[in-house]
């Protein structure tokens, strides 16, 4: 029965295991960026809809429950509160993704150019559609 020498084990590790780990590690974040870019675009479209006071555009990417639950009156209130601040200018900073129950939750920080309070904005996604939009 032959045993591996230390140099053989080191060679196997460096030639097989290390490259496999590098590929796995490099592909992990890249895969996560695809949905993030998609929902970053979705969020920007929703913020544009708030600025232009377009309820239909705001709920366009929502699932049926979101469309039924986020009423036109709720949207009017939201547009009245956030619309003017968004129109003055803002920047978005993605903070994190959470898994909660059956949802993937994306969290952004909105910093407004008016230098007043920032907002945390939470977008709930289920099966590729918006299920919730919560500014705090």
Query: For 107-120, how does the pLDDT look when each residue is reduced to its tens digit (9 = 90+)?
Result: 999 999 999 999 99
Average pLDDT rounded to a whole number, residues 19-37: 43
Predicted TM-score (pTM) of this structure: 0.73
User: Domain map of the chain by residue range?
Assistant: 35-135
Report the phi/psi class of residue 99: left, alpha or beta, with left for phi > 0 and alpha for psi in -120 to 50: beta
Q: Is the pLDDT of residue 4 over 60?
A: no
- 129 three-state secondary structure: strand
Per DSSP, the residues of the chain read -----HHHHHHHIIIIIHHHHHHHHHHHHHHHHHHHHHHHHHHHHHHHHHHHT-HHHHHTTB-HHHHHHS-HHHHHHHHHHHHHHHHH-EEEEEEEEEEETTEEEEEEEEEETT-S--EEEEEEEETTEEEEEEE-
Q: Which CATH number applies to 35-135?
A: 3.10.450.590
Give the model confidence (pLDDT) of 37-95 as tens digits: 788 899 999 999 999 999 999 999 999 999 999 999 999 999 999 999 999 999 999 99
Per DSSP, the residues of 92-108 read EEEEEEEEETTEEEEEE
């Amino acid at each position: 029965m032959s045993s591996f020498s230390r140099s053989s084990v080191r060679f196997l590790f460096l030639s097989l295991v290390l490259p496999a780990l590098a590929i796995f590690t490099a592909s992990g974040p890249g895969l996560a960026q695809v949905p993030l870019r998609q929902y970053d675009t979705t969020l920007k479209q929703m913020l544009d809809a708030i600025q232009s006071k377009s309820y239909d555009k705001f709920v366009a990417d929502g699932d049926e429950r979101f469309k039924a639950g986020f009423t036109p009156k709720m949207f009017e209130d939201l547009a009245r509160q956030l619309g003017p601040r968004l129109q003055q200018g803002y920047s978005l900073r993605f903070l994190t993704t959470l898994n909660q129950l059956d949802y993937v939750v994306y969290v952004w920080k909105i910093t407004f150019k008016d230098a007043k309070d920032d907002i945390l904005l939470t977008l709930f996604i289920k099966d590729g559609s918006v299920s919730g939009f919560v500014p705090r």
